[in-house]
Structure 1
């Protein structure tokens, strides 16, 4: 290592107590910045701007086009993703690329949300006149309330902070935290105004755990028709055990001549009878079964089946059609394989 390199990269020293103090100080500064932003919404000007921004977005026929440079750009990508996943169509357009053709992605029916802490980003400033000529509504999120961005904007969301959490007061820290929080606040308020439900969220997240829980039905995971163990009420003990073993559900259902479910007999029932010293050999299915078992319909959510099984501490569940006839069966292993539980 040369002497020049050594001077520009001095040896690091870690003082644990000092490091923890700086960490706590960063938390405190950012928490104060968030509280200040929250308090501003109670003031007429900031509150009106927030509601006006919501109204503009709700009335738009197109998308929210989010823009920002540097750290504000990273925040912008996150805000665009949050909006899109909560019912507000949105995308991110990089301001530098916008002036080289990507501005064509912005249509008159869209709304632009431009993010800049200073409000003086050169890349944003170059495209502001073009956006104004297009007649696209412009919402600014900035701490520079007298900046070029704020002057061009139709609506200004105040994201100013008293100071950054960076000890040098240079690196965007508290300011980006406020930007993220303000974007989240806008997204959740829009979500509520649109009547966006958990089911809607699941449809845009089909690969996630919530999507599986809210989109997977009992019919998707059950053992249908002939795969569901079932015997008649007069079946002998040997037949009952053979059906239980063959189908691997840990239980067998008892159905009448019309295939309506009238009872269930489980591995647990068998263990309890044997423990009590009961001679099960002469018994019929009608003697062994629990009558009128709890059941669920094929079009119910698999998550509802999991909840029912958990509430009543049962591991197997018959699936019945509206007329009570057997449609299938499932157990906790089926739900686990489908990653519903």
Structure 2
């Protein structure tokens, strides 16, 4: 076992605080990663505050991890000590179902193992995430990072926000000649704009806030539509090949469905606490339009995304914080007061703990 330091929630009502715990001994195919940076995802907050059911305490969140390989098991062949790597939302899966065989571990028919708040497939113990000084992960779920050292903090959110938007863009074959909408300009949406633009699509950003118009253009949108403006929306009726909806609050989907071409798809990646209002069937059947969903991405997709981002100089827009600033970061994140992702400098953990 190795002694680890981290930050944990002990209950839904208590703030995250220093926490000492043990990581497992390396199994033959394990990689130990000393964590340099960990992004802060809204899922972390949902879990720590038990806003989603099933939180097991103590809970150490964090699944946007960039670090350095510190040790490898005897059967590890793809990683070497000193290499910069990433760990995302998954740390294991059954590896033998149809989904896993297809490289889509996020849809594992026997349930993938989450980086935190999930039972380890061998011991059954609760997984503890990246708000810590190191983590131990089987090699199949460790990713190579090819960005420069100066970009590593801004790479961390790619392990969740990046792959969550990349996977549907690739699945629905977004590229040159496509008109693509991105709904919501936040942690997910800002990555959707960057990636869709880099894939060669014409990108239209949708926001409810006129104040975000210039920001969306800066991120790479060709046009910005204020979704509360009926005239601006109507001007795009029936013109989109694909729309990616990143908003995690319940809202009417019908205005976006009507913007799709025949055979167009509206894909949801934001997960609201309450259901969206039921869409009108008329808008779907008269146009053979679809509403779909997408969950993060498989390991092969994630590596593809990281390599693409390194080649095109793409990272997340971030604000760096110290470990002991996490509660304030959660407060600001709830208020949508971040552009666009907080990242914890794990070098501050020693001071905080």
Q: TM bucket by the smaller chain?
A: under 0.3
Query: Which is strand-richer, 1 or 2?
Result: 2
**What TM-score do you get using the length of structure 1 for normalisation?**
0.27
Q: TM-score, length-normalised on structure 2?
A: 0.26
* Structure with higher RCO (Cα < 8 A, 6+ apart): 2
The structure with the largest helix share of the pair is 1
**Which has the greater radius of gyration?**
1
